[in-house]
Chains A and B, each alone.
Chain A
Amino acid sequence: MKSAAPNGVSVVVTVELFGLARVRAGVSSVCLTVDAQTPVTELLGALAQECPDLVGSALCLSDRGTISVADGYALNRNGLAFLSPEIEAPLDWAPGDSLLLLSNQAGG
């Protein structure tokens, strides 16, 4: 599944879904074609378009009309760095990058 890149250099970012996000969406990953300088919030907006069932569960619509991760969820880049949910600055996305959407509860 792809979304059009708004402008500039476009890259394919794979959003990997875990836990309830995977169950809600019915898929384990979604490939999105986005601008290499896309902020996380815009990436999540593209994800919401591809997987509308995530809105209201793993994703939420803010008062400003932007999409963010819901309470109880976390974001991680490439399985390494966890991202602040408030991050709005553009990230340098490279081909092959992944954004992980997972629970912020690691208790077992």
Chain B
Amino acid sequence: MAVRVGIAGLGGLGSNIAVMLVRSGFRDLVLVDFDTVAESNLNRQIYFRKHLGIKKTEACSEILKMIDPEIGPVTSDVRLTEQNIPEVFRGCGIVCEALDSPEAKAMLVNTVLTEMPGAYVVSGSGIAGWGCPNDIITKHIFKKLYVCGDGTSDTGDMHAPRVTVCAGHQANLILRLVYGMEDEKIER
């Protein structure tokens, strides 16, 4: 797949999205997370017990290479800011928003849309709990912004099924964008 895809956050959404994209043939990924793998992540993220305490960028790359040894993802263990986002995601036709706090999500979305003209943002919002998974949908919000999720669920814990449903929406939308099934084609 010729399109470079950035993934901001390698938690429940981002780590699962990365696996789905690699299984779908994506090799040019930029993986960004400043955190390390914690015990509480194992209920929904792709990591294994042996990864506890290891950087998520490192653990995620290791797992992705077990699926496709040819991939060499670009990794960055920085905290994303308005200043570093254009540099970190340089060359990405799509940036996947998979961060945790609403402020960080809004900051990333706003920065990519204003500073990286041409890039699409695929965001996840509203995935907590075990409410009806049919409430999780993909919405085309702005010209270059899609948001997946139910838009409201932020209370309670996060669990693998609903988080993975949303990650599936995000990964599927990326395939649709790349294969030109959504209204516009992606340029690098």
Chains A and B are bound partners: no
Q: Tell me the A residues contacting B by CB distance below 8 Å.
A: none
Q: Tell me the B residues contacting A by CB distance below 8 Å.
A: none
